Amino acid sequence: MEGAAPAEMIFAIVAAIGTPLDFVAQSLEEELATRSYASDRIHLSRLMDAFELPTPPPALDAPSYDRLLTLIRRGDELRGKYGPDALALLTASHINSKRPLKAPRSFPGKAFILRQLKHPEEVYRLRSIYEDGLHVLGLYCPVSVRKHELKTRHVMTEEQADELIRRDEYERPESGQRFRDTFHLADVFIEVSADVIGAERTKQQIKRFIDLLFGSRITTPTKDEYGMYLAHAAALRSSLSPVK
């Protein structure tokens, strides 16, 4: 609405382990900056550091495999102790603690980027709190790309990469990570690839989403985008089977 202060926005990312999230978050921040929005990136896993859980926080110099496995365990323990939406409540509390003391206690022109959601109850809880102010991005990244990222950038063995991918996609306990069940709750689905052409395509998809969100122009899904969603949804149903 003309003359109105820009509303604060919450962007929550849902992505499988190994997805190049920093590139996506940076691209989102750059696109929001063109709309005069300042971004605050929040790593949900770091919010758990204040909690005493059976598994202690990972050491700063821990190998990537040990660090990521420790974060998965701590997330499971936090959800098991405080409920499956615990990280969502913790995130909302963190954002609230940053608010100015005087009414209306809002952040006009501010966007919070949450990386990342792993359980459907986290999406449900955040939507109940922020309603239309929450925008969930589901990132699709092929297993081959994610495995390559884990093995090269994070220096893991094939077995370690496979174990993390398996645990990340679906864990049996209700409090476990459930990427497969969380992904389809996204408001928009974006394909992420490591090559130059794929990276440019990802940036264009983010731009189209922001254009649509801000209503700067009429933006409808392309045939490729709709086909990509159908293909990815089918792939998730067929290949991301629960751990037995």
Domains along the sequence of the chain with CATH: 15-239 (3.40.50.300)
pLDDT per position in the chain (244 positions), as tens?
444 457 899 999 999 999 999 999 999 999 999 999 999 999 999 999 989 999 999 998 999 999 999 999 999 999 999 999 999 999 999 999 998 888 888 888 999 999 999 999 999 999 999 999 999 999 999 999 999 999 999 999 999 999 999 888 776 667 788 888 899 999 999 999 877 778 899 999 999 999 999 886 544 555 555 555 555 555 555 544 444 3
Cβ–Cβ under 8 Å, residues 19 and 141: yes
Sequence-separated (6 or more) residues with CB below 8 Å from residue 144: none
pTM score of the predicted model: 0.84
Closest C-alpha to 37, from 115, 86, 108: 108
DSSP 193-242: -SSHHHHHHHHHHHHHHHHHHHTSS-----HHHHHHHHHHHHHHHHH-PP
Are β-strands 110-117 and 38-43 bridged in parallel, bridged antiparallel, or unpaired? parallel
Cβ–Cβ under 8 Å, residues 140 and 192: yes
Write down the pLDDT at residue 151: 96
CA distance 167 to 178: 9
Write down the pLDDT at residue 229: 52
Write down the pLDDT at residue 177: 84
Write down the pLDDT at residue 232: 53
Closest C-alpha to 69, from 23, 17, 114: 17
- The residue with tokens 């990802």 is 202
CA 43 to mean position of chain CA atoms? 9
Write down the pLDDT at residue 6: 73
